Structure 1
């Protein structure tokens, strides 16, 4: 097939590499001409994937019209902050019958829209062709052909299975899921929790605190997700707990690294400068706090991280506030129904 990946960051480059390894005619679009020259001549992307050797067959282009021409599969892999602009520029050039997917873990902060909703605005008939690529998948490990499993979520089974066939190989296993909302929320909100786990590490806390943040963070993600129409089962899968674990525990995780720097006393600007690449959790927590208020969902961990990032609260103070909250059930939403009348 003919595929194009829009966005030559680490994840976009890794997806383009998988497609090339599977024998597809693949173009990688990058805004920067010098990066395209590097990929085409040296077959490297040193800024985003240092030391990785890219397939000789991978072609990079900075011309959006040229990159999109005649493609069967279009995958958006740009930072969430750039998604609206790239979708707007690409809309008149998208194929009339190809699969349109995104691999972006975040929201449009200005509107609170999920990325599939941003893509839907590009055409009234796109929903049946839309898909989401997500799951625990550090780009550094994918380009090294280390075993990785991901999820493709789509409104239509045929769309999900087409992408599954295009991407799946001996080191890259792909599952399908009909829950687009859940897949997007799990992939996006886990970045917030990774920031919190990184802060705990930076403060010198141990495994107990990190496990608590991951577990209670997953409860918050599922709580908001179910209010927004997602299946709770999705959050027990690869795009939920799977992605949460890898993002909260890996040395590759930008969100964990940024959180650790914040816990060590750096300002947000200093932490982001040291990481040097997009830290999606920072923007995501803004949209999430607004969504939680809109849907009347309690998300104390997300709120505490928001306060550290944007209200000047010290991470240690945020921890004390979380630990001092009013006592409660672990299964808040169902405790009364499960144990009634004993628990009333």
Structure 2
């Protein structure tokens, strides 16, 4: 059995995909009223038209969901630390798989280190890559990266969590997988702003390419392998998130580019990640110009026109 902590779109989609293949799942959400309605109707407001299979047990009881040895942590990155703090059990030997993408603002680290700090006796892993919850829930073919520093545990998780339509590739490069998933959201905001402001597809292609260079630069600085960034968790996720209106980060960027308000209830991981990246870059003397202008845009400290001027006025150099 598997516990999934977080009944948003992605957590619920993973529950549907696994239960459809016969894996019993306990799905936890923090809102008792919403979970009671989900248990009764078997319909999630996050996934219209998708019925929850009978193999999914729905609960607002965190302890009940956390009793399983494999837990998927499907909450926003900035909520991960609080979730882990609410788990009373030490979770010795449990496999905690982070399904969030970003950098924790309080610590400047990715989800695996947040897990290790909170639950040192547990085994951290990361599930990331190009995926929309609706596609996973509908059973459309999707490939993701499963990153775990323990090769045997990664192998076991890969087989436990893969389905006929959800194919997982494993790696031991946790840092590379985490940073690829986190940084692509920053570039997606930039690309959304580019299209929202009417700057065109050529400008978006340039942002994606130079953004990928930033992603690779920061990841290499922290010891990641280049091939990880060229895989699903980096380039693959970048291609999806920077080109689709289904991406929340991309839509947020479009709103910035059009000078429109964005729904504050929608989680935009890339905004917080841009702030965290800018801090790390300043601390370590790294050049991350796209991340810096995204942080300024998201904070309302710069306009799209000013951000564009900042990027285009940089000194010319070799690629």
- TM-score band, normalised by the shorter chain? over 0.9
Larger Rg: 1
Cα-to-partner distance string for 1:63-91 (whole Å, 9 max, x where unaligned):
1111112x12111111112111101111x
Question: In 2, are the aligned partners of 1:152 and 1:160 still within 8 Å (CA)?
Answer: yes
For the pair 1:294 / 2:280, whether they are aligned, the reply is no
Cα-to-partner distance string for 1:80-120 (whole Å, 9 max, x where unaligned):
12111101111x32542331111110121122121111100
Instruction: Provide the residue aligned with 2:262 in structure 1.
Output: 271
Partner SS, residue 166 of structure 1:
helix
Instruction: Provide the residue aligned with 1:342 in structure 2.
Output: none
Question: In 2, are the aligned partners of 1:40 and 1:58 still within 8 Å (CA)?
Answer: no
In 2: Cα distance, 1:182 partner to 1:3 partner: 26
Q: What is the RMSD computed on CA atoms of the aligned residues?
A: 1.3
5+ residue gaps, structure 2:
none
How many residues end up aligned between the 2 structures?
319
In 2: Cα distance, 1:78 partner to 1:123 partner: 16
Question: In 1, are the aligned partners of 2:216 and 2:229 still within 8 Å (CA)?
Answer: yes
Question: In 2, are the aligned partners of 1:68 and 1:94 still within 8 Å (CA)?
Answer: no
Alpha-carbon shift at residue 250 of structure 1 (Å):
1.3
Instruction: Provide the residue aligned with 2:47 in structure 1.
Output: 49
| Shift in alpha-carbon separation, 1:94–1:68, aligned structure 2, 3 A | farther
Instruction: Provide the residue aligned with 2:200 in structure 1.
Output: 206
Question: In 1, are the aligned partners of 2:146 and 2:168 still within 8 Å (CA)?
Answer: yes
For the pair 1:12 / 2:11, whether they are aligned, the reply is yes
Cα-to-partner distance string for 1:27-73 (whole Å, 9 max, x where unaligned):
11100012211221111111x2222222122111111111112x121
Instruction: Provide the residue aligned with 2:80 in structure 1.
Output: 83
Instruction: Provide the residue aligned with 2:59 in structure 1.
Output: 61
For the pair 1:29 / 2:28, whether they are aligned, the reply is yes
In 2: Cα distance, 1:306 partner to 1:123 partner: 31
Partner SS, residue 316 of structure 1:
helix
TM-score of the pair, normalised by structure 1: 0.90
Alpha-carbon shift at residue 154 of structure 1 (Å):
0.4
For the pair 1:112 / 2:108, whether they are aligned, the reply is yes
5+ residue gaps, structure 1:
331-344
